[in-house]
Structure 1
Amino acid sequence: MIPVRLKLKNFLPYRGEMPLLTFEGIHLACISGDNGAGKTSIIDAMTWALWGKSRLRSKASGDDDLITQGESETAVTFDFRAGDGQVYRVERRRTKPKRSAGAGHSELSLFLVSGEEVTNISGSILSETAAKITSLLRLDYETFINSAYLRQGEADHFTELTPNKRKEVLGTILNLDIYEQLSDSAKARADQAVAAKKMLTDSIGLEQTKLAQEPEIEAALAAATQDSAGAEAGLKEKQAVLDELKRTRQLVESQRQALGQAEAGVREITGDLTRRQAELAANSQRITQYRLVIAEKPAIEAGYAGFQAAVKRNTEFSQKLMTLRQFDGQAKTLEAAVSAALNDARSTRVHWQTKFDELAARAAELPKLKAALSSLAAELAQLAVKEKHLDGLATAIQQLKTEDARIEAETASLRKQLAENDSKAKLLADSSEAACPVCETELSQDRLTTVLHKYHSDKAAIQERLDSLSASAQANELKRRQLTQELDAGATLKAERTRLTNLDARLGRDIEEAEKAAGRLPEGEKHLADLNRKIETGDFAPEERRRLAELEAQIKQVGYDTEEHRRTSETLAELEPFDRKHRELAEAEKLLAADEQARLGIEASIGELNKRLAAREQEAAELRAKLAELPVVDDAALQEAERLVAELKQQATAATRTTGVLQQNLAQLQELKKDIAAKTAEIRRQAETESIYRDLKKYFGRDGIQAALIDNAIPRMEAEANQLLARMTDNRMSLKLELQRLTRKGETTETFDIKVSDELGTRDYDLFSGGEAFRINFALRLALSRLLADRTGAPLRTLIIDEGFGTQDAAGIDKLKEAIAGIQDQFDCILVITHIEEFKDAFPARIEVCKTADGSSIQVNYN
Structure 2
Amino acid sequence: MIPLRIEATNIGAVPHVDIDLSNINLASICGPNGVGKSTIFTIAPVFALFGETKNSCGMDNMVRLGTQEMDSTLEFEHRGEIYRVIRTRSTKGKGKTTLELQRLIEDPELSARKWDSLSGTTTWETEDKIKELLNLDAETFLASSMILQGKANEFTSKPAGQRKAILAQILGLEIYDRLLEKAKEKERAVNIELEKAKAKLSELDTRLVAKPAVESERAVCLDEISRIEAEIQSKESELRQARDRVRQLEIKQQRARELDRQIDTLWTEIEQKESEKSEHGDKLVRAQKILDSEAQILSKSNEHEQVKQRITVLQTKQPRLSELDIQERQIRGELVKIESQLTTTSQQVTKTETILACQSELEQAVNEFNLLGADIERLDKLAETFRIQELNAIQKKAAWEKKDTEIENRAKELNDQISGLKKKVEMLGNSGCINPENAQCRFLADAQDAKKKLPDLEKELASIDGSQIQPYWEEYQNAKRSVEELKYDPLQHKQSKERLNFLRPKVEQAAQLDSKQELLQNLKQQKSQAEEQKGQILDRIKGFQAERIKLVEELKPLTELEARLPKLAQWAQVKDQLPAARGMVAVTNETIAKLKTEIELKRKTAYQLGNEKNEIDRWVDNLPTELGGIADLEENLGTLRKELTDYSTRAGVIDAQLKSLEKDEEERRQIKDQIIPLAKDLVRWQTLVKAYGRDGIPALIIENAVPELERIANEILGQMSKGEHSLRFETQRDLKSRAGVKETLDIIVSDWIGDRPYETFSGGEQLRIDFAIRFALAELLARRAGSRVEWLTIDEGLGSQDAVHRGLVLEAIKSVADRFRKVLVITHIEEAQAVFEQQIYLEPGEDGVRVKLAA
TM-score (norm 2): 0.49
Larger radius of gyration: 2
Q: Give me the TM-score of the superposition, normalised by structure 1.
A: 0.49
